[in-house]
C-alpha cells in the first residue's frame, strides 16, 4: 500500500472513529425505525439462512461478509449431509422419524452462531466494515468502493461458494475416487429423478450424455473439477462447446413448430421478453420499427440473424445466451447496485467507509428472495 493510501486511511479512520463514538446505537435504531416505516425502535437482529436449495440451476445468495458466509456454509453442509444420508442410506433414515430431522445438537449449533453474530462484543458490524473496507477498495486504492469493486468482491465470494458445493457433489459422484467423474458414475439429483421425464430439466437435456460430453472440454471422457463445475453451472463456463450446447437446448425448448430453428414469432413470444428483462441498455428508439409494438424485437432479431434467412440458429443465439441464462456476474452486479443505492448518501455512485458505517445493516440484509420461483429475484430484509 502506498504512503498516500496509508495517510488516506488514517484520515478516514479518524473520521470513522468520530462517527462511531458519537452515536452508534442511536444511529442504528434510527435506521431500523426509518426502514420499517415507524413503530418502536429496536436493535436489528442478524439472522442466518435456515433453509437451503440444493438445485445447481438455482442462484443462491452469498452473504457480503465472509465470516457470515462461512457460518452459513457450515450450516448448509450439515443439512446437505443429512439429505444425502436420507438418499444414499434410506435404511438409516427409516429408523429416524421426521422429528429427528431437527436434531437438538444441530439446532443448538445454529442458534449459537446467531447468538455470536448478535453479541456486539464478539461480532461488531462497525468493526467488521472497517476491517473489510481495505479489501474492497483495491482498484484503485482511493478511499472509495465503486460498483465494479463491489461486484468483483461479490464475484469472488460467489466463486468460492460455488466451487465448495461442486467439490461436495464431486466427492459423492466420484465413486472410484480418482478425482474425475465419468458419465456412468454420474447420477442426476433426486429432484430431477422424482419429477418425471416431462420436466424442464429432462426436456432440455440438462442431465443427459450430450450435456456431459459438451462439458468435457478436453474430450477425455471424464470431468475434472473445473469441467464438473461447468456441467453444474453452464451459464458461467468459458467452454465454447458448452455454451453452444446451451444454445442448442434453447432452440430445442423454444422451437414450437419443430423445424430445428427459431422463427420471429417463436423469438417474440418467448426469448425476447427474457432478453429484454436482462438488457442493461434500452433499445434504440429511432429504429424504423419503433412505432410498432414488435419494433424492438424485430430490431434485435435482425441483428442476431447474421445470414438473413429469417430464422435464428443455435450459433446465432450465442450473443444473447448470457441474457437468457444470466451469469454470476449479473447477480453480483445486481447486489452491488442495490447496496450502493441504499448506502450512497451523497449519490456520487460510490461508497466511503463513513457511508458504509452510516448504513451498516444494508451489508447484512441484501439477499435474494428465497421462494419457489427460479425466475423471480428481488431483495428483502433478513432481519426480523
Between CA 222 and CA 315 the distance in angstroms is 26
CATH topology assigned to domain 240-279+292-326 = Recoverin; domain 1 (1.10.238)
Residue 155 reports pLDDT greater than 90: yes
Is 306 within 8 Å of 125 (Cβ atoms)?
no
Is 39 within 8 Å of 33 (Cβ atoms)?
yes
Q: Is 30 helix (H, G, I), strand (E, B) or coil?
A: helix
Residue 27 reports pLDDT greater than 50: no
Q: What is the pLDDT of residue 118?
A: 82
Mean pLDDT, all residues of the chain = 76
User: How does residue 57 score in pLDDT terms, banded at 50, 70 and 90?
Assistant: low
Enumerate the CATH 1.10.238.10 domain ranges in the chain, comma separated: 240-279+292-326
Residue 192 reports pLDDT greater than 80: no
Beta bridge partners of 223: 181
Q: What is the pLDDT of residue 80?
A: 82
Q: What is the pLDDT of residue 208?
A: 84
CB count in 10 Å sphere of residue 60 = 20
Q: What is the pLDDT of residue 186?
A: 84
User: How does residue 382 score in pLDDT terms, banded at 50, 70 and 90?
Assistant: very low
Residue 108 reports pLDDT greater than 60: no
Q: What is the pLDDT of residue 18?
A: 52
Residue 122 reports pLDDT greater than 90: no
346-352: Cβ within 8 A, 24+ apart: 349/146, 349/147, 350/144, 350/145, 350/146, 350/147, 351/144, 351/145, 351/150, 352/12, 352/143, 352/144, 352/145
What torsion do the CA atoms of 280, 162, 48, 68 make, to the nearest 10 degrees? Answer: -90
User: In this predicted model, what pLDDT tens digit does every residue of 302-343 receive, in sequence order?
Assistant: 999 999 999 999 999 999 999 999 999 999 999 999 999 999
pTM strictly above 0.75: no
Q: For a pLDDT cut of 90, what percent of the chain falls above it?
A: 48
Helix (H) or strand (E) holding 306: none
Place of cell 482498484: 139
User: How does residue 51 score in pLDDT terms, banded at 50, 70 and 90?
Assistant: low
Between CA 359 and CA 339 the distance in angstroms is 10
Between CA 235 and CA 239 the distance in angstroms is 10
In the numeric block, which cell numbers belong to residue 44? 436489528
Amino acid at each position: 500500500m502506498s504512503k498516500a493510501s496509508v495517510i488516506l486511511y488514517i484520515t478516514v479512520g479518524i473520521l470513522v472513529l468520530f462517527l462511531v463514538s458519537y452515536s452508534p446505537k442511536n444511529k442504528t435504531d434510527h435506521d431500523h425505525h426509518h426502514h420499517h416505516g415507524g413503530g418502536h425502535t429496536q436493535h436489528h437482529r442478524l439472522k442466518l439462512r435456515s433453509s437451503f436449495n440444493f438445485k445447481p440451476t438455482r442462484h443462491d445468495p452469498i452473504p457480503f461478509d465472509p465470516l457470515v458466509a462461512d457460518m452459513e456454509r457450515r450450516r448448509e453442509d450439515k443439512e446437505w449431509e443429512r439429505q444425502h444420508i436420507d438418499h444414499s442410506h434410506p435404511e438409516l433414515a427409516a429408523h429416524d422419524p421426521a422429528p429427528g430431522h431437527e436434531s437438538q445438537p444441530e439446532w443448538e449449533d445454529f442458534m449459537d452462531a446467531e447468538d455470536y453474530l448478535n453479541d456486539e462484543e464478539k461480532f461488531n458490524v462497525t468493526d467488521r466494515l472497517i476491517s473489510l473496507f481495505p479489501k474492497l477498495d483495491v482498484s484503485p486504492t482511493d478511499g472509495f468502493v465503486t460498483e465494479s469493486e463491489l461486484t468483483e468482491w461479490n464475484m469472488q465470494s460467489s466463486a468460492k461458494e460455488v466451487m465448495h458445493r461442486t467439490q461436495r457433489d464431486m466427492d459423492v459422484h466420484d465413486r472410484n475416487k480418482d478425482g474425475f467423474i465419468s458419465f456412468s458414475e454420474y447420477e442426476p439429483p433426486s429432484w430431477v429423478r422424482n419429477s418425471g421425464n416431462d420436466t424442464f430439466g429432462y426436456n432440455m437435456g440438462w442431465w443427459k450424455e450430450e450435456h456431459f460430453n459438451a462439458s468435457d472440454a478436453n474430450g477425455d471422457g471424464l470431468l475434472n473439477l473445473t469441467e464438473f463445475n461447468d456441467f453444474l453451472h453452464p451459464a458461467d463456463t468459458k467452454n465454447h462447446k458448452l455454451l453452444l450446447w446451451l444454445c442448442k437446448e434453447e432452440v430445442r425448448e423454444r422451437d414450437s413448430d419443430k423445424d430445428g430453428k427459431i422463427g420471429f414469432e417463436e423469438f417474440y413470444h418467448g426469448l425476447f421478453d427474457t432478453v429484454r428483462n436482462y438488457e442493461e441498455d434500452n433499445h434504440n428508439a429511432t429504429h424504423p420499427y419503433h412505432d410498432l409494438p414488435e419494433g424492438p424485437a424485430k430490431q434485435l432479431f435482425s441483428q442476431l440473424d447474421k445470414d438473413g434467412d429469417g430464422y435464428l440458429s443455435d450459433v446465432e443465439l450465442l450473443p444473447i445466451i448470457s441474457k437468457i441464462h444470466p451469469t454470476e456476474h449479473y447477480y453480483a452486479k445486481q447486489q452491488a447496485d442495490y447496496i450502493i443505492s441504499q448506502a450512497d448518501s451523497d449519490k456520487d455512485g460510490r461508497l466511503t467507509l463513513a457511508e458504509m458505517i452510516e448504513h451498516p445493516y444494508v451489508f447484512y440484509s441484501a439477499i435474494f428472495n428465497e421462494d419457489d420461483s427460479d425466475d423471480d429475484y428481488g431483495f428483502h430484509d433478513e432481519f426480523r
